Amino acid sequence: MAKAVSKKKVAELESSFYTDAKHYARQIWLAGLGTYAKVGHEGSEYFKELVKSGESVEKKGRELVTTQIDAANDSVKGRLHGVKAKLNLDRIEEAFDVRVAAALNRIGIPSRRDVAALSAKLDSLSEALERVARTQ
């Protein structure tokens, strides 16, 4: 048979449990107060360190972004310069072609269009002559 636990032993166990619980609760309370006191004392210093670290990271980030933006702008400027130069070169070439064609036309040298038109007329006249020759 199971032995019955005496009321005295149960009371001692309960008392021991409550004493231990009070002891641990007090330790937790004191740890919380200690944390609060330490944060109050060292918290402002820690906050200042965090601000300095944040400023440093922000500065590095801005430098990185500025470097990348400058590189992108330089690349775009280079491409635009190339496009502008090509456009200017095309305009110069076109103006040169117009002036050369005008000069050649003034001295009596026909243009490509003139030669093509004459060639087309010659072809039509050749066809007409062949038809006349076949009918005779």
Per-residue pLDDT tens for 91-110?
A: 788 888 888 888 877 888 87
- Number of domains forming the structure of the chain: 1
Question: Which domain range does residue 19 map to?
Answer: 11-135
- Has residue 2 got a pLDDT over 60? no
* Residue 96 covered by a domain: yes
| Beta-carbon contacts of residue 118 (< 8 Å; ≥ 6 apart) | 110
List Cα–Cα distances, 7 to 13, 16, 17, 27, 81, in angstroms: 10, 14, 15, 30, 100
Instruction: Convert the pLDDT of each residue in 43-76 to its tens digit.
Output: 777 777 877 888 888 898 889 888 888 888 888 7
List Cα–Cα distances, 81 to 43, 75, 94, 136, in angstroms: 56, 10, 20, 69
Token pair of 124, please?
């039509």
* Residue 33 covered by a domain: yes
* Residue 117 covered by a domain: yes
| Confidence at residue 110, expressed as pLDDT on a 0 to 100 scale | 79
* Residue 124 covered by a domain: yes
| Beta-carbon contacts of residue 54 (< 8 Å; ≥ 6 apart) | none
| Confidence at residue 120, expressed as pLDDT on a 0 to 100 scale | 92
The pLDDT-based confidence of 1 (bands split at 50, 70, 90) is very low
| Confidence at residue 9, expressed as pLDDT on a 0 to 100 scale | 67
Mean pLDDT calculated for residue range 32-45: 75
CA distance 116 to 31: 103
Mean pLDDT calculated for residue range 132-136: 85
* Residue 73 covered by a domain: yes
* Residue 2 covered by a domain: no
* Residue 78 covered by a domain: yes
* Residue 1 covered by a domain: no
CA distance 95 to 103: 12
| Confidence at residue 7, expressed as pLDDT on a 0 to 100 scale | 64
